[in-house]
């Protein structure tokens, strides 16, 4: 397949993969959710993993494995005969998925069970800490791309003599050896620079290793559960072509921001399946709508704590609160409540308090209330979804250093 432009697709991967050309992809990495899509919900920030696996999973393991098998069979179909497939999973369903992948790819095409170990996350006193994920690596045939990866192997003891293949760094003496099938790579923690706040974001170093080993420059990399776009960002950086699919419009909106950060504009990629009209957006689930709006405004979704106060996100540059209503004719009472939320949020008195409300439309009373509140030092902007779709919204980006200091 000639892939003229990289492609970002919002949709169910089963449907989307069915439209793709057979044997056209060089490398596939997937990191699926461990439960059926039907129950999938994005919960941002630290709340993300609070709901237990069992709570989310209806129908038992067989339903999940069947759901995955349909997708793995499509992925197998689109993979080139020389291609590679990596499936990221963990203790929840990994063993069942391995058996299923053996059936689809053939046991003899299984290459590695990679252990990604990390230190973060909690641990129970009742068992050993669960601190690794598993990545199954398959190829479609015996003839496949593999660029041997090397890693440092440290000596147990320091040797006084100099051997030509010994090197030394702050951790001690080492030699370079063929990379093993267990990788210690820190997870994306809250203090990590690469963090985008997407609950299941994987570290770029992990994808770097996979992409460098199993593809070459200009090869096509596919991630059919691309989340916040880690695979795509790394593939781009390593000069690979890429296709990303995710069912969540807010994930796609976030990826657009992530790519923009790398200097890749919307005109450089084909974006397929994103909402184009107000009617499309009315059909969104509420949380998807909320995150779509916040991301379109280049903002960040709020944590649950501030969400409780009626604030759904913050604009990126000036950090002004944003409230999102998936409603027509938002009236005076909503603006009233937002004013209260703003006062509670900006605990310290300020000369001017700023905030944005986003909805489909507003009543006359809402505009009157905004005008009235202006007299009390409240600058509330009423933004319509139509304005966002028409790219008419410009959130003020420059704040004076003084104003910066006042931000909470
Ligand atoms: C575990 S996350 C992937 C995280 C990703 N590796 C990253 O680093 O950001 C799984 C993703 O699969 C997506 N997803 C779930 N069901 C899907 C489906 N049927 N088709 C496409 N994407 C789906 C979810 O929206 C979610 O973003």
pLDDT, tens digit, for every residue of 172-182? 889 899 999 99
Between 289 and 38, whose confidence is greater?
289
DSSP string covering 301-358: EPPHHHHTTT--EE-TTT--EEEE---SSB-HHHHHHHHHHHHHHS-S--S-EEEEEE
Model confidence at 301: pLDDT above 80: no
Section 173-193 average pLDDT: 91
Kindly give the distance from the C-alpha atom of residue 395 to the centroid of ligand 1, in angstroms, as a whole number. Answer: 29
Work out whether strand 300-301 and strand 270-272 pair parallel, antiparallel, or are unpaired: unpaired
The best mutation among 34, 48, 232, 247 to test binding of ligand 1, ranked by most ligand atoms within 8 Å of the C-beta, falls on: 247
How far is Cα 370 from Cα 349, in angstroms, rounded to an integer?
Answer: 19
Average the pLDDT over each of 57-66, 113-122, 323-332, 378-387 and give the range with the smallest value. Answer: 57-66
Model confidence at 204: pLDDT above 90: yes
Model confidence at 247: pLDDT above 50: yes
Specify the pTM: 0.79
CA proximity to 45, closest of 287, 224, 275: 287
| 200 Cβ contact partners less than 8 Å away, ≥ 6 residues apart | 31, 33, 48, 227
Burial of 44 (0-12, 13-18, 19+ CB in 10 A): buried
Section 135-161 average pLDDT: 91
Closest CA to ligand 1's atom 15 = 37
Average the pLDDT over each of 31-40, 231-240, 292-301 and give the range with the smallest value. Answer: 31-40
The pLDDT of residue 393 = 79
Kindly give the distance from the C-alpha atom of residue 335 to the centroid of ligand 1, in angstroms, as a whole number. Answer: 35
User: Which fold would CATH assign to domain 7-141+181-272?
Assistant: Rossmann fold (3.40.50)
* Residues paired with 361 in a beta bridge: none
Joined together, the tokens standing for residue 92 give 């929840």
Q: What is the CATH number of domain 278-406?
A: 3.40.1350
Kindly give the distance from the C-alpha atom of residue 125 to the centroid of ligand 1, in angstroms, as a whole number. Answer: 31
What percentage of residues in the chain have a pLDDT greater than 90?
A: 58
Closest CA to ligand 1's atom 12 = 225
Model confidence at 43: pLDDT above 50: no
Residue keyed to tokens 């994920």: 133
Neighbours of 141 (CB within 10 A): 14
Q: What is the dihedral of CA 380, 381, 384, 386, to 10 degrees?
A: -170
Query: CATH 3.40.50.150 occupies which residues in the chain?
Result: 7-141+181-272
Give tens-digit pLDDT for 94-147. 999 999 999 999 999 999 999 999 998 888 999 999 999 999 999 999 999 999
The pLDDT of residue 46 = 38
The pLDDT of residue 222 = 98
The best mutation among 226, 231, 285 to test binding of ligand 1, ranked by most ligand atoms within 8 Å of the C-beta, falls on: 226
Model confidence at 397: pLDDT above 60: no
The pLDDT of residue 40 = 37
CA proximity to 211, closest of 19, 25, 75: 25
Closest ligand 1 atom number to CA of residue 251 = 27
The values of phi and psi at residue 144, to 5°, are -145, 160
Query: CATH 3.40.1350 occupies which residues in the chain?
Result: 278-406
Joined together, the tokens standing for residue 204 give 């770029």
Closest ligand 1 atom number to CA of residue 230 = 8
Between 276 and 295, whose confidence is greater?
276
Triad 130, 46, 406: Cα angle to 5°: 145
Residue keyed to tokens 């919307």: 266
Closest CA to ligand 1's atom 19 = 12
The best mutation among 14, 18, 32, 257 to test binding of ligand 1, ranked by most ligand atoms within 8 Å of the C-beta, falls on: 32
Closest CA to ligand 1's atom 25 = 248
């Amino acid at each position: 397949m000639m892939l003229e432009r990289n492609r970002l697709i919002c949709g169910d991967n089963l449907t989307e993969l069915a439209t793709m050309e057979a044997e056209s992809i060089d490398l596939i990495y997937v990191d699926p959710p461990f439960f059926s899509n039907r129950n999938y919900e994005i919960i941002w920030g630290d709340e993300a993993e609070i709901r237990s696996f069992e709570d989310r999973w209806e129908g038992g393991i067989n339903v999940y494995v069947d759901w995955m098998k349909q997708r793995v069979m499509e992925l197998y179909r689109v993979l080139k005969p020389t291609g590679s497939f990596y499936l990221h999973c963990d203790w929840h369903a990994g063993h069942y998925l391995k058996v299923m992948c053996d059936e689809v790819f053939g046991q003899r095409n299984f290459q590695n069970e990679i252990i990604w170990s990390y230190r973060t996350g909690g641990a129970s006193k009742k068992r050993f800490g669960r601190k690794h994920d598993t990545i199954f690596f398959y190829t479609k045939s015996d003839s496949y791309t593999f660029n041997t990866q090397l890693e440092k192997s440290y000596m147990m003891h320091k040797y006084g003599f100099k051997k030509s293949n010994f090197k030394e760094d702050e951790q001690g003496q080492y030699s370079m050896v063929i990379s093993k099938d267990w990788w210690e790579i820190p997870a994306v923690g809250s203090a990590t620079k690469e963090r985008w706040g997407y609950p299941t974001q994987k570290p770029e170093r992990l994808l770097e290793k996979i992409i460098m080993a199993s593809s070459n420059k200009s090869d096509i990399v596919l991630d059919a559960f691309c989340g916040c776009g880690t695979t795509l960002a790394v593939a781009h950086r390593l000069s690979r072509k890429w296709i990303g699919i995710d069912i969540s419009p807010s994930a796609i909106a976030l990826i657009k921001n992530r790519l923009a950060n790398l200097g890749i504009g919307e005109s450089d990629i084909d974006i397929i399946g994103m909402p184009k009209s107000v009617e499309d957006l009315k059909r969104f689930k509420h949380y998807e709508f909320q995150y779509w709006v916040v991301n379109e405004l280049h903002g960040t979704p709020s944590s649950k704590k501030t969400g409780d106060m009626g604030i759904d996100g913050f604009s990126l540059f000036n950090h002004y609160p944003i409230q999102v209503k998936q409603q027509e004719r938002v009236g005076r009472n909503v603006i009233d409540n937002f004013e209260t939320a703003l006062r509670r949020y900006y605990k310290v008195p300020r000369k001017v308090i700023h905030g944005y409300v986003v909805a489909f439309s507003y009543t006359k009373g809402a505009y009157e209330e905004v005008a009235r509140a202006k007299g009390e030092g409240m600058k509330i902007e009423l933004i319509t979804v139509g304005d966002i779709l028409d790219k008419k919204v410009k959130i003020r980006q420059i704040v004076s250093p003084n104003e910066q200091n006042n931000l909470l």
